[in-house]
Every structure is written in C-alpha cells, then in structure tokens.
Structure 1
Amino acid sequence: MTHWFDIGINLPDKRLVFPDAIDHALNNDVTGILLIGTDIQQSQEALSIAQQFPNNLVTSAGIHPHYAKDAAPDFIQQLKNLATNQKVVAIGECGLDFNRNFSPAQTQLRVFEQQLELACELQLPVYLHERDAFAEQIALLKAYSPKLSGAVVHCFTGSLAQMEAYLELGFYIGVTGWVCDPKRGESLREAVLKLPSQRMLLETDSPYLFPKTLKAKSRNNQPAHIPHIAEFIANLRNQELQDLKQNCWQNTMDLFAVGASFEH
C-alpha cells in the first residue's frame, strides 16, 4: 500500500506546531516525512523529533549555504556522527546560494564540497539547495556524481534546461506548492510537464511556500497539504492521481532506502 510522503519540512520551527502538524499530516495520509537539517543544532533537534515517530519520520543532516560561515572546524565529523543513526537518510540541506550571500561564496563552495565528499564516503544521497548559483553548483555535482549514491534537488524552481541538467546526472526533483503559484510558478509548471514520473518527489518545505490555490486562516504551510499539491500536479500533467502517488512513493523509497520502515 502506498501513501503520501513529504520529503521536506522545516521542523523544529515555531510556525509548525509540534506534534499537531505531524498528527494532521498522518490524518491526511501523509505517513512519511523528512525533517530537513540545515545546521548541526537543527540536525540534532530534527533527529530527536524523528525518534519519537519511528515509523513516520526521517531526517537529513547538513549545513545550509546560509550557515556555511558558521560551520565549526569539525563539522564533518559532527555530521558523520549524526549519520550513524539510521534515521539520518541524506546529507544536507547543502549547496550554494549566491542570491543573498549570507556566507561568502568561497566558504559556501568549500563547505558544500566537503559535504559532497562525506556523502560519497557514507553512500548517502545529497539533499541539495541552489539559488542563483546553478553554473557553479552543476560543475561540482558533475565532478562528484559518479561517486554519489543519489541526490534530490530540494524545492526546485529553475528552468526546464536546468532540470534536464540535473536529470542527466540521475538526480530527483523535489516539487513544492510553488507550482501552484499563478505568476512565480510558470517556469516550474513548464518543467514539471516534462519531468519523468520516476524522478519526481513531493515536498511542502513547510512552513514556507503555502500553496496559493489553498484558502486557510493560517498561511503557514503544513505537510498535510501534500495531497493538494499532488492533485494540482496530476491535473497539470493529465495524470491519474493514484499513479502519481505510487510513483512518488516508490521514488522516495528508492532514493532514501527507507522501504522497510515505511511499508505499513
């Protein structure tokens, strides 16, 4: 039996009420959720939360490019220690963000490359972030992709050409409620129409990116909104919703190797 899986929420986050957000998701057939690690502390906190839901939650562990400048000298060893726990199924959120440059570009590149090396060593997939740094990021990924066990481009909002470049490396594409945005989501909708079913993953990036096609009292996104995002995508692609559900579930199981824990 398949269910919905949200491959990206930002918990702990005060805008996501715990455990209500998880319970609400489970009640909407979102039975699998990945908690995103963006620095050492949040990765540790996410792991602690995930351990309270042994059959539903997993985590990543990594350093987001915004926080690259704050990475401790031994951050790789700290990530390696976290990754000894079977709940940690990916390295990241890591990558490059030259839009805001909260960390210097060269520091971002160094911290990102070290995490790619760690992912290769541990044979864990990479959970990728990229904004206004595609050329630099794809160059690094091409160098490391032969040794990587896989990757997902988290919260993809790029062009069709960029998506195809990631697909050529065998990566998965994470699609959020951004696709529902009438204005900002236009290029993403164009790409999603060409996205192979076997390479699509679903995510909310909650509490961010509330789907514009939903009406609610709170604008804080929740993992329970995955079925709505999926229905929008299925209608866009003229695809049976159950087929999309099956494909995305299996893709998640394949990338993160969590099938035994979530087949319930």
Structure 2
Amino acid sequence: MDLIDIGANLGHESFDHDLDAVLARARLAGVSQLVVTGASRQGAVRALELARAFPGELFATAGVHPHHAIEYTDEADAEMRALLAQPEVVAVGECGLDYHRDFSPRPAQRRAFERQLQLAVDTGKPLFLHQRDAHADFMAIMKGFDGRIGPAVVHCFTGTREECFEALDAGYFIGITGWLCDERRGQHLREFVKDIPADRLMVETDAPYLLPRTVRPMPSHRRNEPMYLPHIVEELARDRGESFEATAAATTATARAFFRLPEAG
C-alpha cells in the first residue's frame, strides 16, 4: 500500500515524546509520505525541521492559519517567503478564513489570506486552504486571484454539497478527513463524496485532531495519528462505491502530482 496523508500536524506538542513511533506505525499502515502542516510562524519553521529530519517521507507547508491572522505582519510575510524558497516546503498554507471561531478579527483574516495568496502567485507553489463558515468571502477572495495561482486544495472539507461543487467548478481540489466518520457532523459528506472526481480528491488525517469516530478499538488517548489514514480511505471507498485499492491509488496519484512529490522510497 502507498498512501499519502496530505495534512498532519506533526509539530503538535502531543507528538513530541513519540514521533518516531508514530511514523513507524504510519509506515506499517501503508502511509508512505506525509505533508506536515505549517499553520503559524513558529509552526511553519517546525514543519520544515521535521521535513528535513525525514527526507523523502515528510514534506512541509508554510503559512498562517486564520486563527493566527493577527500575527501576519510584514516580518511574517518575509519569513514565509524564506521558508517557501526551501525545496522541502511544497505548499503555501494553511491559510484561509474561519468565521466559525473568529479567533482573529475577520478583516485581519481577509488581509492575511490575500497576502498568502500573493505568496502562491510569487512562488508558484500550490495552496493548502482552510475554510469554515466563510464560503462566500472565501470564494470571492479566491476569485480575485483567478488565473494567477496554481492548484489549490480545500483541506478538511466540511461544507455543503453546493459549496463542494462550487469549489470544484472553480478548479480546486478537495481534502477529506475523519470528519467523514462523524455521525453527528459529517453524515452529509457521505452523500456526495462519490461525486468528487477521482483526480480532485485527496485524503488526510489532520492529526492529532479529528480521530475518526468509527475506529475500533477506540484508543483511550483520543489522539489521531497518520496510521488511521487507511480507515478514512476505507470509509471513503465504501461511500464512493469503489474498492479500497481504487480509492487509495487515485488519492495517492492525485496528491503526488498536486504537491510534486517524488515516488516513495
């Protein structure tokens, strides 16, 4: 098996004590490559450190999550540009809008998002995007960069069918997480994931968050890990009406092309 987890927050403190074991379990589960999410000024530096520590296996993104938008200063912009110049950093982000929690003021979120979209224009690297309860503004800002940015994935998609297809119509990719496995919040996703074209679909754990609620046995610590990616693929394949092998192969091929990753060693 050869799976790619396109979004794992391996710089999170919960992995500090056992990262080697976490990666060993991921390999045993067939997860051959992972993209480590850089979602803050400090987090993006850490993501690059991890990618350099595990060459060919881990890769990094560099960006500032909307929760941290107020920290997106001119200095932060310069830091992101320096990080994005490194070959291990394969995408701009995590960036976007989050009106669900509003941890940063919405005007600050929009400014930080626009500046990071400009990074994608300037560097030519793909985008790793976040959107929650902000679809209209998100799409309007993205539209302003039509024809200038490269490929973009809406990571951890949780929106409606209509929002999904508006994103697909705009040319974006969709990332599916264990949210799909949440009978309280993700049931609606099961009804339309089968309609996402295979060459626009990728999978991710968003570890340590979003432990799939259908994992058995349920771990006592509740921390999500990349080793649970096959479980997400299994559920996704069932909802798409195709074999596990077909979903695994398609999502891996799409991720490898999107992030321009080498073949797994």
Q: CA–CA distance in 1 between the matches of 2:40 and 2:225?
A: 21
Give yes or no for contact 2:32–2:264 (8 Å, CA) kept in 1.
no
SS in 2 for 1:8: strand
Q: CA–CA distance in 2 between the matches of 1:72 and 1:144?
A: 21
Q: CA–CA distance in 1 between the matches of 2:86 and 2:171?
A: 26
Give yes or no for contact 2:33–2:264 (8 Å, CA) kept in 1.
no
Aligned to 1:221: 224
Q: CA–CA distance in 1 between the matches of 2:177 and 2:107?
A: 29
CA distances 1:160-185 after superposition (whole Å, capped 9, x unpaired): 10000111121110000111112211
What is the letter of the counterpart of residue 218 of structure 1?
A: H
Q: Does 1:91 align with 2:75?
A: no
Q: CA–CA distance in 1 between the matches of 2:115 and 2:247?
A: 35
What is the letter of the counterpart of residue 191 of structure 1?
A: F
CA distances 1:2-24 after superposition (whole Å, capped 9, x unpaired): 60010011121122331221121
Aligned to 1:240: 243
Aligned residues: 261
TM-score w.r.t. structure 1 length? 0.96
Runs of 5+ consecutive residues of structure 2 not aligned to the other structure: none
Give yes or no for contact 1:159–1:191 (8 Å, CA) kept in 2.
no
Give yes or no for contact 2:92–2:127 (8 Å, CA) kept in 1.
yes
Matches within 5 A, 1:127-206: 127-206=128-207
Q: CA–CA distance in 1 between the matches of 2:104 and 2:183?
A: 32
Q: Does 1:26 align with 2:27?
A: yes
Q: Does 1:5 align with 2:9?
A: no
CA distances 1:82-129 after superposition (whole Å, capped 9, x unpaired): 011111000000001111111111111011000001101111111100
Aligned to 2:252: 249
Aligned to 1:262: 263
Shift of 1:39: 1.0
Shift of 1:159: 0.5
SS in 2 for 1:146: coil
Aligned to 1:114: 115
Runs of 4+ more than 4 Å apart: none
Give yes or no for contact 2:92–2:126 (8 Å, CA) kept in 1.
yes
SS in 1 for 2:74: coil
Q: CA–CA distance in 2 between the matches of 1:15 and 1:81?
A: 27
What is the letter of the counterpart of residue 150 of structure 2?
A: S
Shift of 1:186: 1.3
TM-score w.r.t. structure 2 length? 0.95
Identity rate of aligned residues, in percent? 36
Runs of 5+ consecutive residues of structure 1 not aligned to the other structure: none
